[in-house]
Structure formats: structure tokens, C-alpha cells
Amino acid sequence: MVIDTHIHPALFAPICEDQERFRRRCDAMNYHLMKPSDMALLRKQYALADIGRVVLLPEDCSVESGMVEISNDEIAKLVALDAQFYIGMATVDPRRPDAVQELERAFAELGLAGLAVNTARLKMYPMDERLVPLYDLCRKYHKPIIFHAGFCLENNALAKYARPMEFEEVALRWPEVNLCLAHFGWPWVQETAALLLKYPNLYANTALMNFDGPYQLFPKVFKQDMGEYWLDHNLADKVMFGSDSPRIRPVRSKRGLDSVEMLPETREKIYWKNAMRFFGWEGQNK
């Protein structure tokens, strides 16, 4: 069984009924020439990769864009379709005057599983004082945070605000909160690896879609940019599978990672065990 920790549901048909809103969302998130996706077809695609649970990421840069790209309520609507399969994250633009109240509503009323933050789109560093109350709320509710880390393909985004080392102080100041650096912080994968080695609450995911395809990119990242045995010897407990769908189909991402040589116990941890621990689900059925 596989848990996909990184899916953007921007194209999920149930939240694409407003055509103008859909167009603006695709413009903001740089999903051009894409159409809404049928939910039954998506489930078949996930089954091809043995994916049994998926984590849905919202996005809110509304103070700049004038629109919440994927709202907490839309995420909750999708989770309600199958709460055993879909895990919904929350988000809020920290520049909103009601940011803390909205995130608390997402946790307390909507039951969302954690916080998603894209500092590259927000154009603020991870320790910006406007983000601190949101981190404190995650500590209060025992919710993890998934950060976009590294280069960002979305429009109006600057990678300097999401370089992995910029997240070190967050990991140090909130040790009770599990944090994930998405995309393995590419292209700064060695920075990400160093941070994973040091901070028990820090994780990364494999949502990589940059050059070539997964069969070429994953060996480059995990066997050349990093030492050949770093995954098995040092980072087996710190990496989670993520596809970065819809930029890449999950089955392609899964098969690409399947091609990377690693110990069977490391693969099992990456595909589902580490995500169970990250979300605090240990002891539950996978």
C-alpha cells in the first residue's frame, strides 16, 4: 500500500464547476492546457500505483491574487467523498486579517489534517512573524505542516523564500510539530538531507517533477546528488512518497521510485510507514 502525500486537487471535477474560477486557478497555479478530471478515472489511476490514501493540498494566496485558489471548504468537500481515502490539508494566506480564525475553523470544524504553506508563492520567509501564529496553532492542535521547499513552478513564486535551510529555525523552534519539506527541497537536496539528519521532526517527500521523467530524475537525486546509501543508512525514516499530481501521474512517479535500488524495509517506510508516523496515525490500520 502507498500513501501519496502530495496531490494538488486543482483539477478535481467536483470543485471545477465554476468555469471562471477554474480558469483563474489554473492561471495562478500554472496548470495550463489541463481539463477537469473525472473522480472515477483518478481512482483507477491511483489503483495502478497501489495508492490507498492521498493527501490533498489547498492553496491560498488570496491577498495577492484576489481569490483563494483551492479553499479549505473545497478540500473538505473532496474529503467527504471518501474520508478513508482522501486526507485534506488546510491553508490560509497569513496576510489575511482572519488567518488564525480561518485555520482554527479548518482544524476544529472541518477536521482537516494539517497545514500546507507555500512560502515561495507568499513571498515571505518561513520565520516571517505573520506565519508564527499559524505554527503555534498547529502545535496546539497537534497538526503537521507540509511546506513547499525549493524551486516552484507556479506563477509569481520566488524560490529564495523556500530554500531548505530557511526552514531550520522552524524545525528548532517547534520540535513538537512534524514538518515536511516537499519536493526534497530540489535543487538543494543536500541541504534537505542535512536537515533531515539533524531534526527528528523534519521529513521530506519525493514530489519531484523537474527535468526528464521519474526514471531519470529519481536515480539522479537519490543516487548521485546524494550518496548511494544515504536513503538506506541515514534517511530511511524521514522520506515519504509524493507524486506532485497533476504535474505528473502518480503511477509514473511510483514506477520511477520503484526503479531506485533500496532495501525492502526502506521502500516500505517511504511508501507508507513514514507517512503514518508523520500524521500521527501509528497504531491505526494502514
Distance between CA atoms of 44 and 277, rounded to whole angstroms?
27
Q: Which CATH superfamily is domain 2-278 in?
A: Metal-dependent hydrolases (3.20.20.140)
Per residue in 95-143, pLDDT (tens digit) is 999 999 999 999 999 999 999 999 999 999 999 999 999 999 999 999 9
Cell of 203: 521529513
pLDDT of residue 271: 98
Cell of 48: 495502478
pLDDT of residue 283: 67
pLDDT of residue 241: 98
Q: What is the dihedral of CA 190, 196, 197, 201, to 10 degrees?
A: 170
Could you give the C-alpha distances from 63 to 60, 95, 226, 276, in angstroms and in order? 8, 7, 38, 34
Write the DSSP assignment of 118-174 as a string of letters. -HHHHT--TT-TTTHHHHHHHHHHT--EEE--S---STT--GGGG-GGGGHHHHHH-
Distance between CA atoms of 111 and 230, rounded to whole angstroms?
36
pLDDT of residue 1: 94
Residue type, 184: F
Domain residues of the chain, as ranges? 2-278
Distance between CA atoms of 283 and 24, rounded to whole angstroms?
42
pLDDT of residue 153: 87
Report residues of the chain scoring pLDDT below 50: none
pLDDT of residue 31: 85
Per residue in 49-76, pLDDT (tens digit) is 999 999 999 999 999 889 999 999 999 9
Task: Please state the pTM of the whole predicted model.
Answer: 0.96
Under 8 Å between Cβ of 27 and 155: yes
pLDDT of residue 282: 76
